[in-house]
Structure 1
Amino acid sequence: MAAVVLLTGGVALAATQPAEVASAAAPAHATLVGDLPTTTTPHVLDGDVRSVAVAGNTVVLGGNFTQATDPDGTRVDRRHLLAFDRTTGRILRGWAPQLDNEVYSVVASPDGQSIYVGGRFNSVDGVTQLKVAKLATSDGRVLPFRSGVNAVVTSLAIANDRLYVGGVFQQIQGRQRRLAALDLDTGDIDDRVAVDIQGVHRTGGDGKIWRIEPSPDGQHLLVVGSFATVDGQPRNQIVKLDTNGGGTMTVDPWSTTAFAGYCASFQDYVRDVSYSPDGSYFVVVTTGAKGTGLNGTCDSVSRWAESSQANAGYQWINYSGGDSNYSVEITGAAVYVGGHFRWSNNPYGTDSLGPGGVETTGIASLDPANGLPLSWNPGRDRGRAVWQLVATPDGLYVASDTDRIANYRYRGRIAFFPLEGGRPVPQPARQTLPLALDQYVPAGGGQPARVVSRDYDGSTFGTVAPTVGDASALAGTRSAFFANGVLYTAMSNGTLLARSYDGSTLGAPVTVDLQRMTAFASDLANMTSSVYDGGKLYYTVSGSNTLYMRYFSTENRVVGAVRFDAATSGGGVTYSQVGGMVLAGNDVYYVDRQAGTLVRAPWRAAGGIDGGGRTTVAPAGAGGVSWTSTVLWARQGEVPNQAPTARFTFSCTGLDCSFDASGSTDGDGDITNVTWDFGDGQTASGPTATHRYGAAGTYTAVATVTDDDGATGLATSSVTVAALAPQASFTTSCADNVCAVDASASADPDGTIASYAWDFGDGQTATGRTAAVTYAADGTYTVRLTVTDDQGVTNSTTRTVTATVPAGRGFIGKDAATSQSTSLRDTVTVPTDVREGDQLLLFAASNAKGTDGLDAPAGWTRVLDGTTSNSRSALFARTATAADAGSTVEVTTSVYARTDVVIAAYRGVALTLGGQTAVQGYTTPSRPATAGSYVVSFWADKTATTTTWTPPPGVTVRHSFAGTGAGHVSEMLADNVATADGPTPQLTAGVDQPSAQSIATTVVLRPV
């Protein structure tokens, strides 16, 4: 065939194969997903779904849509964002944040309590939130979070307790950034992520970041999009960044020029990237239209080894033949890809089905070993794209812009394929000695065609024995290889047959579909040897001095479209004389057809025979064995199983013990199970275990290990345990005669603390981890804490506190006027106990507009205003005079409105003006306070849904009122005493249903 040119790391490799693919570790999925989607997803009726986030039993979809239905067809209006129940598929009715524009990316927080949203929007629920928002998973309410992005956000990802943000923006929170990291709690920008991304892939590009993909261990970040350099280093369309464990981000040495070329008129074409579950490799997908032959990465899927290699090349590449790939997700068992494509394994097609091409309409699963299409092939209406593929522990979500999938089943823009019912993807391991060498012997000399076998352990051949007495079904076989219990035979008529073979019985043949590859059919008809190794088929053909390689998937029996030159004759090897080949460990055994001998030689890691180490292991005719037949294959020989050896270590602290049997071994296989008997009637399983004994004593622990052939081994040991006493510890904090105690520092080394008992030294007692006491007289008191653990063991400790009872300090009284009708004036009365010098606070809450007037009479100082779009609140303050007691105070509004007014009086404390604010919502702002200060908090809202207030813990409610009827105003006033210097805690009041028309404030009255 003509020489094939591949672009690998920017270097053209003529007539060679791609880089070796390392085997993957344990996958996230053991099988493919099932062929049919569940009925537990809603149907999005218009636009597209671009992103999926899963948080527990809640699934959130983001995109550009306006309507959806439950699985039963019940219609629900949802713009750009919806959430549904993962079990039923029903759209969550109480989860309906309102966004003013489309969503591109949604991700769930590590604890599942929040959903981060990125897109084109500028507000959520009427509140300004530029391009990024944080929502509560439970009900979709907006949570406090800074954004400050100046253009569209297209990708979000979480790693290292950071939210990584990418898009079309150039600036975020006043910094020049194209990639940024925000604090997960606050949204504050993290200046340790400040790599300088510059340029575009092609003139006219918008500089978009298409995808951000963290490695499984969080140490690396892959970013794909339209850019040219990162921190001054050439990185065209893809860059690997080092997170340095959450420290300062740097550019990793890994690089490639594979995406530097242009694709048709596309301004950029790399669309998605995904790490394997074990982090050993990643896969990149592209759009871009057909490239120049095989010299490029347009419209391709390519696998890359995880490394820090500069100018790296891909391990394999799969071409669609001229259609776009948009998304990729790796589960270990498969590489799932979605897009606009029509075919896979189609490098020779140009918007057409070329030799080797397999129809995979809009979605496909690829073999991780070689990129060939697997049998999971549901098909879908292609539309423009599958925008995102999201694997979960039990399946795969498919988010797209079309509503037909899996043989035209209706699934509106979101579908879920469960893992249940999925098929395994075999990755046959290379065989090891001993081998059962099988050889097809054609009919002749009065004997029928037959299969003979001989055992070989690396030094000695067993007796030749027939295994199939009549093998006439193999007539016309040119070569054979054996993989995953299937015998594959290359036939003289140019076909490849597959049949089961157990060493004695040949199954019915099945013809492997060569997908119009006439060149490979010619190779089959002239094949002289063949061997399968790690997703690759190596073979020789008559008259050629080249060892060829094609990819081959045993799961779907698909042959790679491209023939690679793996090696050429030389160094003691002449491939035109190589007969049947088999692999065992790191060696290849092959027939030297010219000498009629069986030869052993090292097998090169990249494929090929190392002739420098060749050794003849069976001379011609030795022992009556003829090696003239080129049809040779091998099965794994049987080795008597050896029982595993059990070993374990343990360590105990108190009643808690840890056991570890990872030191157990099995010389000829793997340990598949470990069970534990702790000697007290309790058991466990797994290589490691922890156990708490119920009482002190000596017990006999037994570990039983089982190997992959069912043999067992035992190990025993005596374990002595004794209960440990808990450790009592507490802190104190006093303000005047009020002292707070906290035993959070107490601990039990071998269990849990069951109870806390306090003796405050004046006859008062309490229980609980925290408590407070008010002393009636000045003095120094000894506080004793006694803790009791779950074993009944106790421990005590003491501390002294000093109490000083303040003279005449505290709350004096209040009055309130609550309005059920509109007016221009509302009046309250100053408590009659007020004396000169007392602190008066006047709170007013109204359903007037934020721009309307709300005023107190002369002599009152306006402290703060609290406004929303449909409510108006204010706080006024005054130092009382002798004439104020029993007088009336009138609050006025500039328009008729419902206004509630509350006046409260305090003695021995005063308000220092400056810095007081009111915030929207139900959580008060924090203010600096000194010990003994009165912290006064006020909440108000204007909504018909509030019927009652729930105060936060630790406060004394002075006033609480909920109005009735449309547009009513409700409010609550409460206070507490600060027990220590420092910022006051933010206090959240509860209502029936939170409203955006709400304010909360806190003022601090310091002792005088």
Structure 2
Amino acid sequence: MDTTTKSGRARVLGMFTAVASALLLIGGGLSIGGAASADTRPVDPTNPATPPTVDGSVLPTTQMDGVAWAQTVVGNTVYVAGKFTAARPSGSPAGSNTTPRSNFLAYDVTTGVLKTTINVPLNAQALAVAASPDGSRVYLAGDFTTAGGATYYRIVAISTATGQIISSFRPAMASQVRAIAATNTALYAGGTFTSVNGIATGYIAKIDASNGSLVTSWKASADYVVDALAVSPDGSRVYAGGRFQKMDGAANYGLAMVDGTSGAVLPFPTNTIVRDAGVNAGITALAATSDRVYGSGYVFGSGGNFEGAFSSDAVTGALVWMEDCHGDTYTVMPIGNVLYAAGHAHMCSNVGGFPETNPRTYHHTLAFSKARTGTLTNDGNRSYANFRGQPSPSPLTWYPDFSTGTYTGQGQAVWSLSGNTNYVVAGGEFPTVNGKAQYGLTRFATDSVSRSTMGPNNNTALTPTASSSTSGQARIAWTSTYDMDNYQLTYALSRDGNTANPVYTTTKGNNFWNTSAMSFTESGLTPGSAHTYTLTVTDPDGNQIARSGNQVVIAGGGTNPPPVASFTVGQNGLTISVDGTASSDPNGTIASYAWNFGDGSTATGSTASHAYAAAGTYTVTLTVTDNQGATNSTSKSVTVTANSGNTIAQDTFQRTVSGGWGSAQTGGAWTGSGSATQYSVSSGTGNIADAAGTTATELLKSVSSTRTDTTVTLTTDIAPSGGGAFVSAIGRQVGSVAYEGRAWISASGAVQVQLLQSGTTIQSAVVSGVTYTPGMQLTLRVQVFGTSPTTIQAKLWPATQAQPTNWQVSATDSTAALQAAGNVGLKAYLSGTASPSPVTVKFANYGVVAVP
């Protein structure tokens, strides 16, 4: 449900693509199953929440020159349906070493090499492929009207024994076939067609596998296009998905279950929760096992509510779980205890995965536990349906990096997934995987087949930084890293190159979106000695990276004269800038700078700036620390005054009030929403005891302005859980609508800054390098100025650091109801899934000035 996919989705569903129908794994054992999940080597592979997955390493695979829409695996052979003209070996650039292949090819799943004995040219694209459960034949379907030079109207059967067409099976489909699913005696087909062999049907049909005749006793009929099909392993149930709203005249919105023999509609209650159908939404894929049916969907605009994958009971149709990662999902593939999915997900925080980023980042393949392990959290983006409280799986650490292709013009990468107990195969239009050229087709294997070669991410934040401020001790700090197919990593810290005997070893789990600070303090070192530390990180597959840091001189060796602290101050209204670069150390270097601005705010770095909430005289103190840990401080008194006529509102909360906030120094009385008992003022903070699922607002209704610049410091007494805490500065409220800048503090500690218009998020950005802990003070600055359009911009940073130079989020808006002067205020919302509750949100140093 994002602007990048609207035209692409319309073209994909309306012009020449299809999302694969249920691709059941057919092979020598003719079954779906096997080891799979959490990462390649989870701590507890028997835990339903962390089953092992295939690894993220790319295996050499046949390439082609177009797009692969669908795949299935029979024994050791992968059958690929799509739109392409030639195949080429792995490693060959486009146009070299090519072998003609028209819209269909096969390759060996164990080697990735093209099967030269299987070649059935099609004169137009193939959109779907399915195999009979006994593995004796493979069916292809799509737009073609000839196969192997003979006439076959959009469906053809191929013998897996000979690689040749089975000529006795020759149904005539009136138009495009988009989905197929097979038993040993029948083929189920769905698409845009409304007749088979000249007999009227309703977008879905059952065809006799022996002779291609329409099974007229099967009465299922849809009112619009069928895009996905799957059949239960025993053949008793057929699952259909697509853009239809009715099946056999009964309401089945985009999703239906019918009897495999009669076609009679069976209950499928999942379709009362997952609602995707019509011209702007639909079910894109289905896959069935003995106990589950899995599906995926998309929506853009009206008519749908779900993007992501779901799991339902194969017999009752009841929802088992859903993952509502934002971004269309095109295919699902269950293997053992893992469900693999592909699409262009860009936010999975509702299910415990990665957050939205700005600019937006897409992840084209995901993996989830088969087991239901939790519930979805509150969706902070109101343009999406909120499935809070619905059952959910666990996201697994499997994030291979696909680049998007250009062949279809849709800006997509992976369109289809299939596999068996040892392999997952991906098909689409991607040019590279993990930075390696591998066009359109690739393979991933379990650790039992091929050990992963994808090691921990080697980024600069991993470099250890050593310091010594206590005699005989060294403190070494770094930021954890991540691995695309392993969650738990081992960190080994060694001194002076002795990597065989590390001084510290630990394990820690992280994903790419939630790295965190780590440190170790080594004692018993000789004062005055110099050391260098190396950090080695190893994943469970043995892949290893290492980084060495700075040399540190251990404190305590002889007399260390203290450094000299010195700084200058510049002032503009209520804002000062400080510069401590004149500080020096007689026998070393300045290692750190710490500022105290005299109003409870602090900062670090050689230079900093600070905006005071109120005029007055403040004592500014600079403390410098040298490279051996010695410190020295100096202070200056600074008097700040607001620019004449510039202050709109200010409140330092230097009073004690219960049952409300009383009145601000400038701006009049605060007016609170809801129960007055949740509001109080004490010790320099305005407090909101916010209960789970509630919104609390304090407004200064005496203020009316179209040009506001708000600064406020905020914190919470405990870490928010569930969907996190949302804390806003209201820059303009007109009646019940408002422009806000908001801090989202997630349960993982990740922090976002957001812009809102009347409760709808219009822009957001992750605040990099910040992991929130209870009591951490964040400063939020929000500007709202102008009319028709109004400019809204915000920045968010730790109060101990200097204010960022640039606005992190900025937008314009012309909503008619907000193009007038409005009130200012503060607001807090706590996720309905947060526990414990309430969480107390504390505000300090609130100030609003007029934008010049």
TM-score of the two chains, using structure 2 as the length reference: 0.43
Q: TM-score, normalised by structure 1?
A: 0.37
Higher relative contact order (CA 8 A, sep 6+): 2
Q: Which has the larger radius of gyration?
A: 1
